């Protein structure tokens, strides 16, 4: 079984058409009427960081996966010089990262915070963010809604499958997903399998499996953690169009403000 960084080569192509969260983040940042700097923990291949830099913001991203960061740096290298200068990457952990400067905003995109399974680790991350944000700084945290499906349902696997093409040869990649909810602790175990095949003869090129665990973080739980680490939650949205959060919402997106010191 490989670690998550082993799927870095598939990540950008799998999410090539997905930008709903990007539009949301950019709208929120532009409403602040500042140009950064912006911090993105768990930046991966730069899917979020690079479009934000292209929009004119200075961005610092970090990730624990060197494979993801290599792709992020290659993507950055293809951009105009002025954009490249607005983005920097480093390899750090979400619970112990450190920068010599403060940021005006931070983005925890696409369930990044859910990857920290323990409450202690999530609070450590939020504490580091509070230390690195200016007073009044903006925090946007995008988590999946733990009420979908309802917690407490029988631990039956949910299975999904999707496919996309992988350049440069146009190979077909099939992604199989299995998710199982557990109540003690309140987590979701996830297994991905990527099978890459040649289009012309269906022969197997690559076969990668990864397993990881996501914390099922509930609204009251994360709001308390944010307040106790120095944030005021201004709004909780249920999707990227800013509909109010309900138990039936697909996402749980918190907009918080760093309290004055």
Give 32-62 pLDDT, tens digit per residue.
Answer: 888 779 999 999 999 999 999 999 999 999 9
| Cα-only R_g, the chain | 19
Q: Quick check: 152 pLDDT over 70? A: no
Give 91-139 pLDDT, tens digit per residue.
999 999 999 999 999 999 999 999 999 999 999 999 999 999 999 999 9
* Residue 7's pLDDT band (cuts 50, 70, 90): confident
DSSP-based three-state secondary structure for 248: coil
Q: Which residues of 157-195 are buried (b: 16+ CB within 10 A; e: fewer)?
A: eeeeeeebebeeeebebebeeebebeeeebbbebbbbbb
pLDDT given for residue 151 in this prediction = 45
Q: Quick check: 178 pLDDT over 60? A: yes
pLDDT given for residue 148 in this prediction = 67
162 DSSP β-pair partners: 175
Angle of the 119-132 helix axis to the 219-228 helix axis, nearest 10 = 50
Give 194-237 pLDDT, tens digit per residue.
999 998 888 999 999 999 999 999 999 999 999 999 999 999 99
Q: Quick check: 154 pLDDT over 60? A: no
Stretch (H or E) spanning 139: strand 133-144
- Please name which of 184, 255, 202 lies closest in space to residue 226, comparing C-alpha atoms: 255
Segment 206-211 long-range contacts (CB within 8 Å, at least 24 positions apart): 208/2, 208/6, 208/7, 209/1, 209/2, 210/1, 210/2, 210/3, 210/4, 210/6, 210/7, 211/1
pTM of this structure:
0.92
């Amino acid at each position: 079984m490989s670690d998550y960084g082993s799927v870095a080569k598939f990540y950008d192509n799998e999410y090539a058409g997905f930008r709903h969260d990007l539009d949301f983040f950019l709208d929120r940042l532009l409403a602040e009427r500042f140009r950064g700097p912006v911090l993105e923990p768990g930046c991966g291949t730069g899917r979020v960081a690079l479009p934000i830099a292209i929009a004119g913001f200075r961005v610092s991203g970090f990730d624990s996966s060197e494979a993801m960061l290599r792709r992020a740096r290659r993507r950055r290298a293809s951009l105009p010089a002025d954009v490249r200068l607005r983005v920097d990457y480093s390899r750090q952990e979400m619970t112990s990262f450190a920068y010599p400067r403060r940021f005006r905003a931070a983005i925890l995109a696409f369930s990044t915070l859910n990857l920290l399974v323990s409450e202690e680790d999530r609070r450590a991350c939020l504490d580091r963010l509070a230390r690195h944000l200016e007073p009044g700084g903006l925090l946007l945290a995008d988590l999946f809604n733990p009420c979908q499906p309802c917690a407490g349902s029988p631990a039956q696997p949910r299975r999904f499958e999707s496919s996309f093409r992988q350049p440069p040869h146009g190979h077909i990649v099939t992604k199989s997903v299995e998710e199982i909810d557990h109540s003690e602790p309140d987590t979701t175990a996830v297994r991905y399998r990527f099978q890459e095949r040649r289009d012309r003869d269906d022969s197997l090129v690559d076969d990668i499996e990864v397993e990881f665990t996501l914390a099922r973080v509930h609204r009251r739980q994360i709001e308390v953690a944010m307040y106790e680490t120095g944030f005021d939650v201004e709004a909780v949205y249920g999707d990227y169009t800013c509909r109010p959060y309900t138990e039936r919402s697909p996402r749980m997106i918190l907009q918080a403000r760093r309290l004055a010191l």
